[in-house]
Amino acid sequence: MRVRKNERGAAVVEFAVVLPILLFILFSMIDFGRYFYVRISLSSASFEVADGVARGLISSSDNASQITEKLKTITNDVAPAIAAFAQLESTAQLNFTPLPAVCPNATGLITVKLSTPFNSISPINGFFSEASSSTTMRCLR
């Protein structure tokens, strides 16, 4: 097959037009997968933290830093380094806001909200700025 003189370079131009679109789709698919993996891991971790608190993990004599350490221990057992995976950094942080109450309490319920910032590798980072999960459970004590 012979290439005509006036069609030389057409493939390069077509490739230059299509490549950014393909890269956008590829990186967006990777971000969607990472985001939903982080959400599922946070959901499991928030459930386990709520279960631990409902069973008496936190005592009324614990201060905020002791509570946070206990909660992070459970979270790291369930979903190790999930914040680093979400943020693409080694010094990533999980946030417990607000810290759960001690069981038993006046409402008889424990609510754990676990969140972490999410750094996107694609241009759609406006959709995924934070990954979070919330679990509410009855006190068992």
Per-residue pLDDT of the chain (141 residues; tens, 9 = 90+): 665 666 778 888 999 999 999 999 999 999 999 999 999 999 999 999 999 999 889 988 999 999 999 999 999 999 999 999 999 998 888 899 888 888 888 888 999 999 999 998 888 767 788 999 999 999 886
Residue 92 in tokens = 């990533």
b/e string for 39-76 if b means 16 or more Cβ within 10 A? Answer: bebbbbbbbbbbbbbbeebbeeeeeeeebeebbbebbe
Query: Looking at the whole model, is its pTM more than 0.85?
Result: no
Residue 49 in tokens = 């933290």
Residue 101 in tokens = 């109450």
